[in-house]
Structure 1
């Protein structure tokens, strides 16, 4: 079982200790005891999404190490919540959000899903968002994501793309550095590490919201997600806001 201790909130964002590490944290997928799952595409018919959820639950029920599982359900939030609740009943406490890359392109779905998952899950359970763009990490952490994978840095290194906290640079167009693929992979992983450190320090100082607003100009999807969060989920934000 994942051991997570909340030390403080900054909005819905949770600063704490995850298996002895400061969180929000970077996890290595290869180090996790992940239950097998049955994946499905994001924008598909409900019947296929239901099949994916049911098969994932079946596989998770047979898995011996009750630790980390994947939340499927495609674009259907009620199926995602159903998947989450049944996995929690089985004893899982860490949850990977499937189709994360698609969610980043659909701001409303992204916000609606994370808020509903967080509202319906135990406070001791953690949410893991794979393949997060560096500029999105402050917003995702602010909404309640506890952990990220850094494999996106490796992926972009194969595309010769350099990641910064605010923007990705195609090094064929922006000749910032002359790096080998291995050097670029390390650079990108360091970028993810820096952003997580940045987020944690802002959480400790109660200023994560400031960082979230600063990064809102980095992409139209990010700006839209923040507007939706503020307009439609003010109660969710205020529930965890510190009172002075």
Structure 2
């Protein structure tokens, strides 16, 4: 059966989409989905190692034709990332996870350049998944064109005894805001992620996502730097989707 895909609106490069009656940007529970095997490589490695990771990832993906989620490898090399993503797309994968997401959040220039290049390279029907994003980064990532975030982020931070808020993560040892049980903290973090994605979608509906992005970028130096780089180096990308009044 053909999947029904629709871009309902753009707010800057960010897109509000609907596939099989599910709106994005949204959350996914990756544990409930089969992800094709990949060969992980660290972010800052020699190019030969990154090339090996991409080659082995593609070889393994060719063996799993019934799986729709795969991982974009390529370490810090954007051309390798795009090659990996494009070939995975050609193999039929329409949900692609960006590997090394934690490292990318610490390298704003690479983060911006990679997401824009991927979004320009891939088909509109292909979803980009950014795992383990801090909640304060989600508006900016959605604005760039990320479609899906993972719910396991809530469990990851709960295991560290960290409470997620829309603007900041709190170590409950240092900031004992609540006295949660482990499951209670997971549930709280899940609700926070859900709230932030609801905020993003509603701001997209109202063409005000940029306002939310600017508000949240003040929460960390990396967030601030990423938006400045986006505005300075990629004005054409922004103007392509920004409505003129």
Match of 2:99 in 1: 98
Pairing of 1:130-209 with structure 2 (within 5 A): 130-209=131-210
C-alpha distance in structure 2 between counterparts of 1:205 and 1:33, whole Å: 35
| Structure 2 contact 65–92 (Cα < 8 Å) conserved | no
| Structure 2 contact 68–92 (Cα < 8 Å) conserved | yes
Corresponding residue pairs, total: 244
Match of 2:35 in 1: 34
Cα displacement (A) at 1:66: 4.1
Match of 1:212 in 2: 213
Q: Does 1:43 align with 2:44?
A: yes
Alignment partner of 1:88: what SS? Answer: helix
C-alpha distance in structure 1 between counterparts of 2:104 and 2:63, whole Å: 29
Cα displacement (A) at 1:2: 6.5
| Structure 1 contact 11–238 (Cα < 8 Å) conserved | yes
C-alpha distance in structure 1 between counterparts of 2:22 and 2:236, whole Å: 30
Pairing of 1:115-130 with structure 2 (within 5 A): 115-130=116-131
TM-score w.r.t. length of structure 1: 0.97
| Structure 2 contact 72–84 (Cα < 8 Å) conserved | yes
C-alpha distance in structure 2 between counterparts of 1:71 and 1:130, whole Å: 12
C-alpha distance in structure 1 between counterparts of 2:107 and 2:68, whole Å: 29
C-alpha distance in structure 2 between counterparts of 1:217 and 1:232, whole Å: 19
Q: Does 1:21 align with 2:22?
A: yes
C-alpha distance in structure 2 between counterparts of 1:111 and 1:32, whole Å: 27
TM-score w.r.t. length of structure 2: 0.97
The CA RMSD over aligned residues, in Å, is 1.2
Unaligned runs of 5+ in 2: none
Match of 2:113 in 1: 112
| Structure 1 contact 2–94 (Cα < 8 Å) conserved | no
After superposition, the Cα gap between the structure-2 partners of 1:2 and 1:39, relative to the gap in structure 1 and judged at 3 Å, is farther
| Structure 2 contact 65–91 (Cα < 8 Å) conserved | no
C-alpha distance in structure 1 between counterparts of 2:140 and 2:234, whole Å: 14
- Deviating more after overlay: 232-241 vs 19-28: 19-28
After superposition, the Cα gap between the structure-2 partners of 1:135 and 1:209, relative to the gap in structure 1 and judged at 3 Å, is same
| Structure 1 contact 4–125 (Cα < 8 Å) conserved | no
Match of 1:70 in 2: 71
